[in-house]
Structure 1
Amino acid sequence: MAFARMFMPSADEVAAAVTEDRYSSSMQSPPPLLASLLAAVRAAPDDVPLRVHVSQVLLDHDRAAEALEHCSVVLAREPGNAEALALLRRATAALSGTPEPITDEPATEPEESTGFDWTRAEREVSAETVNPRTDPVTEDIETSTVTLADVAGMEAVKKRLEIAFLGPMRRPDMAAAFGKSTSGGLLLYGPPGCGKTYIARALAGQLRAKFLAVEITDVLDAYVGDRERHIAEVFATARLNAPCVLFFDELDALGQKRSHLRHDSWLRTVVNTLLNEMDSVNSRNDGVFVLGATNHPWDVDSALRRPGRFDRMVLVLPPDRPARLALLNMQLAGRPLGELDVDALAEATGDYSGADLKHLVDSAAELALSDSMVRGEVRPISMDDFGKVLKEVKPSTGPWLDTARNVTAFGNSDGTYDDLRDYLKRRRRG
């Protein structure tokens, strides 16, 4: 591998390639030079200097979770490796949202174009306001017909919601007696496809409040100027329809850490508007409950996690066994069924999200439908059908859980992800 390292591209060369390819951490395929480095690691997994170099490159391009994996391998072989320890601290800081450790190197002033200036946004949050239209649109307001009683299983989630959100909202006098604030928002996080939006609707039903869902991607796709007005209008609409649950899905698309943003100076006024509206909810408005959802809470900047904003978090995990049983029965309802052991299916589908379970049932139904068309008569769905599709349909939550494991191991110094850490420990024991 000494020969391979002689021709190994430098971090600067990879950076040039990344710039040229307009690469970002949201893309699935790495640029060619980085792909070559990763291929070299696969070919020589014990090459410590190579792994250190790859960790450096990954960190430089905001892939902290992957850098952590390489640092962990290095430190398992060389616990005292100074370079790996330094990179580990950087990756941990990046994932946890805390400032990077102070070094003896002279500080340099960051270029204004390298990322979003959250500090400047905080200073200007009360200075820049957007006036919504006088007749906010109300057609997207829903009346939720579901409550938490309609959410199958997930008792731990319901208990956490009761303690963190519902109880204080229902009894503000008792919350005040214990110094518990009822202001601020709630952030639901967990793997994709596990029902965060459904739980938000159930919370609205539990509070007997209207429900207004906002897709952050719709906001970001609008024209400059319209984005800020859109955010101001949804808050105005929520206030006119109070009590109202205002739900922001995919919050990380807007609230990314400053280190993840490149040349997005236009985002400053959008974030200013969101922060200003959330602060005004605290100080001047009653009956507006702000919820957010994200698959990647470690990518949400700390400015959005401060008191009075999304300052409470609830982990929404893949459905537990009772929830899987209920979801499977719901998806099977109305279809021609043979002798099915739904209990066994629920047992065999640990880590499957609600979306995965729907895909599993749909796939089994497709097999039965195809066979029925050949036979010319209806053939019910059987356990054999599920046996075949279980080999093909695997839980989609695996990559998320792998990243979460790194976050809890190296980026949980303040206890933010204790619930997630405890779940991962139970999952290993199970």
Structure 2
Amino acid sequence: MSTESPLIQSMRTAVAAAPNDVPLRLHLAELLLGAGLSEAAVAEAAVALQHAPGDAGARTLMMRAMGLPAPAAEQPEPTPAPAPPTGFDWAAAENEVADAVPPRFVTSGPTSTAPEAPLAADGGGDPGEAMAWEVDTPGTVTLADVGGMEEIKERLEAAFLAPMRNPELGRLYGKSLRGGLLMYGPPGCGKTFIARAVAGELGASFMSVSINDVLDMWMGNSERNMHEVFETARRQAPCVLFLDEVDALGAKRSRMQHGGMRNTVNQLLTELDGVGGANEGVFVLAATNVPWDVDIALRRPGRLDRTLLVLPPDAPAREAILRYHLRDRPIESVDLGKLVKVTEDLSGADLAHLCESASERALLDSSRTGVVRMIDMKDLLGAAKEIRPSTDPWFASARNVAMFANEGGMYDELLAYLKRKRKL
């Protein structure tokens, strides 16, 4: 086992004094790699990527330390000229008439300090539709941008992120630099956004795949597409591969009538196994609304062997989502604390719809009266009364599964939530 030289020890002291200095940390990683301490080099490169997700040098160094081929050099894309501002500048207008109109938000007590960011990309944001084998460069979105949901963050940190951030400990304990996590829960609660945040935490590329990207009418093409998806992720390692609606990609083979789909599921299982360590640096996240329809073989140890229940947003998360979707709308005297209380059990998508409905109310009233007015609490509370939680049908279905088909305790966390909410 290689030992650290005095020079490396001095560099560690310098990095500890300036932890945000990316070039200094990368120099330390180069020294560690040259001394044969590849695991320690991977750890330093990973921290550098967290501070500078788009740093090509840090990414190349991490791949060298992991024994992966370096990516082909790419020509930098020209920086587009800044687009001219569009739309009405509500912030400037508000400053001009600050003495004449009420404030946009009012405080009715202690409020959350959650960041102004959308919790769920599938809750009204614009995450973009995934194209076949399109890989996004490391993003700046991290778990700090997810409002509230502290329990989910802690579970992710303990079960998934901590081992990936400390590869030298993983090697010591025989833990491979790969992982599989299955997220499940009602639709519209932020599973896709959480997957992107995990990629940001790891400083990794992000690749989203659904059944539309894989399925093909010609025999054998679906299996080939599945293989190419994983090959692309391996070439882009470190990479988070997000399998959206995995119940369609990996449905129970016992229920399938078409042999082609069974072969596609078999190919997915083969790729997840990553024979020979081919999946080093590929972190597989999967999401589904119906985990009971996922083939049991997918949850075998070494594949998607960890699960995470993603529930409707809690109070801090609801405040962050509401603030995000109201940020560019003309509002006045909005009491977020009161609005958060009356929106319990609503998903991220429901909250986005609530803000849209309140805007429609104010727009229609302005059109009828000929007097433009702001969106107020009356509009928002009226919309909240009309919107029923879209999560209710999911919980109605999940309740029976959790009570009568809880093999191995997979749904223990869901049962605890249902009891806490008195939905059993």
TM bucket by the smaller chain?
0.5 to 0.7
Q: Within the alignment, does 1:329 sit opposite 2:335 as a pair?
A: no
Percent same amino acid at aligned positions?
Answer: 57
Residue 184 of structure 1 contacts residue 307 of structure 1 at CA under 8 Å; is this kept in 2? no
- Give ranges in structure 2 of 5+ residues lacking alignment: 1-131
1:188 paired residue number: 183
Using the alignment, how far apart are the partners of 1:412 and 1:177 within structure 2?
35
Structure ranking higher in helix proportion: 1
2:38 paired residue number: none
Using the alignment, how far apart are the partners of 2:397 and 2:371 within structure 1?
47
- The Cα of 1:175 is off from its aligned counterpart by 4.3
1:213 paired residue number: 208
Residue 133 of structure 2 contacts residue 209 of structure 2 at CA under 8 Å; is this kept in 1? no
- The Cα of 1:268 is off from its aligned counterpart by 2.6
Q: Within the alignment, does 1:244 sit opposite 2:239 as a pair?
A: yes
Residue 160 of structure 2 contacts residue 179 of structure 2 at CA under 8 Å; is this kept in 1? no
- The Cα of 1:178 is off from its aligned counterpart by 5.9
1:345 paired residue number: 339
1:18-417 aligned within 5 A: 139-175=134-170, 183-261=178-256, 263-280=257-274, 283-417=277-411
- The Cα of 1:165 is off from its aligned counterpart by 0.5
Using the alignment, how far apart are the partners of 1:366 and 1:226 within structure 2?
46
Residue 147 of structure 1 contacts residue 203 of structure 1 at CA under 8 Å; is this kept in 2? yes
- The Cα of 1:377 is off from its aligned counterpart by 3.0
Using the alignment, how far apart are the partners of 2:362 and 2:321 within structure 1?
20
Task: Identify the range of structure 1 (399-408 vs 364-373) with the bigger mean alpha-carbon deviation.
Answer: 399-408
1:34 paired residue number: none
Assess, with a 3 A threshold, how the Cα gap between structure 1 residues 139 and 172 changes in structure 2: closer, same or farther.
closer
Kindly provide the amino acid, as one letter, of the partner of residue 234 in structure 2. R
Assess, with a 3 A threshold, how the Cα gap between structure 1 residues 398 and 271 changes in structure 2: closer, same or farther.
same
Note the alpha carbon deviations across 1:229-265, whole angstroms, 9 max, x for none: 211111111111110001110000122223432x211
Kindly provide the amino acid, as one letter, of the partner of residue 153 in structure 2. K
Aligned residues: 293
Kindly provide the amino acid, as one letter, of the partner of residue 270 in structure 1. T
Q: 1:266 aligns to what SS in structure 2?
A: helix
Residue 191 of structure 1 contacts residue 317 of structure 1 at CA under 8 Å; is this kept in 2? yes
Q: 2:277 aligns to what SS in structure 1?
A: helix
Using the alignment, how far apart are the partners of 1:383 and 1:280 within structure 2?
54
- The Cα of 1:141 is off from its aligned counterpart by 3.2
- The Cα of 1:221 is off from its aligned counterpart by 5.0
Using the alignment, how far apart are the partners of 1:208 and 1:349 within structure 2?
34
- The Cα of 1:206 is off from its aligned counterpart by 0.2
Note the alpha carbon deviations across 1:373-415, whole angstroms, 9 max, x for none: 2222321112221232223211100011112222221122411
- The Cα of 1:429 is off from its aligned counterpart by 8.8
Using the alignment, how far apart are the partners of 2:158 and 2:173 within structure 1?
13
- The Cα of 1:200 is off from its aligned counterpart by 0.4
Q: Note the aligned Cα RMSD (angstroms).
A: 2.1
Residue 183 of structure 1 contacts residue 308 of structure 1 at CA under 8 Å; is this kept in 2? no
Kindly provide the amino acid, as one letter, of the partner of residue 224 in structure 2. R
Residue 184 of structure 1 contacts residue 282 of structure 1 at CA under 8 Å; is this kept in 2? no
- The Cα of 1:174 is off from its aligned counterpart by 3.2
Kindly provide the amino acid, as one letter, of the partner of residue 164 in structure 1. A
- The Cα of 1:171 is off from its aligned counterpart by 1.7
Using the alignment, how far apart are the partners of 1:249 and 1:265 within structure 2?
22
TM-score of the two chains, using structure 2 as the length reference: 0.65
Assess, with a 3 A threshold, how the Cα gap between structure 1 residues 274 and 190 changes in structure 2: closer, same or farther.
same
Assess, with a 3 A threshold, how the Cα gap between structure 1 residues 141 and 228 changes in structure 2: closer, same or farther.
farther
Q: 1:163 aligns to what SS in structure 2?
A: helix
Q: 1:284 aligns to what SS in structure 2?
A: coil
Residue 249 of structure 1 contacts residue 294 of structure 1 at CA under 8 Å; is this kept in 2? yes
Residue 180 of structure 2 contacts residue 283 of structure 2 at CA under 8 Å; is this kept in 1? yes
Residue 178 of structure 2 contacts residue 282 of structure 2 at CA under 8 Å; is this kept in 1? no
Using the alignment, how far apart are the partners of 1:188 and 1:277 within structure 2?
19
- The Cα of 1:217 is off from its aligned counterpart by 3.3
Assess, with a 3 A threshold, how the Cα gap between structure 1 residues 409 and 421 changes in structure 2: closer, same or farther.
same
Assess, with a 3 A threshold, how the Cα gap between structure 1 residues 144 and 214 changes in structure 2: closer, same or farther.
same
Kindly provide the amino acid, as one letter, of the partner of residue 269 in structure 2. L
- The Cα of 1:139 is off from its aligned counterpart by 4.2
Using the alignment, how far apart are the partners of 1:138 and 1:404 within structure 2?
33
Residue 251 of structure 1 contacts residue 292 of structure 1 at CA under 8 Å; is this kept in 2? yes
- The Cα of 1:304 is off from its aligned counterpart by 0.7
Using the alignment, how far apart are the partners of 1:201 and 1:180 within structure 2?
23
- Give ranges in structure 1 of 5+ residues lacking alignment: 1-136
Assess, with a 3 A threshold, how the Cα gap between structure 1 residues 429 and 280 changes in structure 2: closer, same or farther.
closer
- The Cα of 1:226 is off from its aligned counterpart by 2.1
Using the alignment, how far apart are the partners of 2:421 and 2:285 within structure 1?
28
Q: 2:409 aligns to what SS in structure 1?
A: coil
